[in-house]
A and B are shown apart, each in its own frame.
Chain A
Amino acid sequence: MGPNLLANYGEAVSAILFCIGFTNLLLQTNLIKKIIGLNIMDSAIYLFLAEKGYIAGRAAPIVADGITSTESYINPIPSGLVLTGIVVSVSVTALMLSLTIRLYTRYHTLDLDEISTQLKREGR
Chain B
Amino acid sequence: MDFICNFPFFSILLSLFSGTVCSVLSAKAARIVNRVVILAVGLMSAALLFYLLSTGESFIYWMGHFPAPWGNEIRAGVLEAGMALFFCIIMYLSMAGGAHKLPSEVVESKHNLYYILVNLLLSSLLALVYTNDMFTAYVFVEINTISACGLIMIRQVGRTIEAAVRYMIMSLLGSGLLLFGLCIMYDLTGHLLMSNIKESVELIVANGEYQVPLIVSVALMCTGLCIKSALFPFHAWLPDAYGYSTVSSAAILSSLVSKGYIFLLIKIIYRVIGFSVFNSTRMIDVLFVFGLMGMIFGSLSAIKENDIRRMIAFSSVAQIGYIYMGFGMGTQAGMVASIFHILSHAATKSLLFIAAIGLTDVSGGSRKFVDLTGAAYRNKWAGAAFTVGSLSMVGIPLFSGFISKLLFAQAAVQVEGKMLASLIVLGISTVLNAVYFMKTVIRIYTSEPEAPYEGITFRNMRAYAVTLVCFILLNIILGVSSQPVVDMIGQGLAMFA
Contacts and interface: CB of A to CB of B under 8 A. Distances in A.
Decide if A and B are genuine partners: yes
Interface of A: 18, 21-22, 25-26, 31, 34, 38, 41-42, 44-45, 48-49, 52, 77-78, 81, 84-85, 88, 91-92, 95-96, 99-100, 102-103, 106-107, 112, 115-116, 118-119, 122, 124
Interface stretch (B107-115, B162-170, B378-386): B162-170
B176 A41 contact: yes
Interface in B433-458: none
A103 B162 contact: yes
B158 A107 contact: yes
B449 to A, nearest CB: 31
Contact of B183 (A21, A52, A106): A52
19 contacts: A18-B176, A22-B177, A34-B169, A41-B176, A45-B179, A48-B183, A52-B187, A81-B186, A85-B179, A88-B138, A91-B146, A92-B172, A96-B172, A99-B164, A99-B168, A102-B153, A103-B162, A106-B158, A112-B162
A25 B158 contact: no
Given A48-B180, A49-B186, A77-B70, 13 more contacts: A22-B176, A41-B176, A45-B176, A78-B186, A85-B179, A92-B172, A95-B146, A95-B168, A99-B149, A99-B164, A99-B168, A103-B165, A122-B158
A108 to B, nearest CB: 12
A119 B158 contact: yes
A106 B249 CA distance: 23
Interface size class, chain B: 20 to 34
A77 B68 CA distance: 13
Contacts of A84: 135, 139
A115 B160 CA distance: 12
Interface in B116-171: 135, 138-139, 142, 145-146, 149, 153, 157-159, 161-162, 164-166, 168-169
Contacts of B162: 103, 112, 115-116, 119
Contacts of B172: 25, 38, 41, 92, 96
A100 to B, nearest CB: 7
Contact of A100 (B158, B159, B165): B165
A85 B149 CA distance: 19
B135 A112 contact: no
B173 interface: yes
B192 interface: yes
Contacts of B135: 81, 84
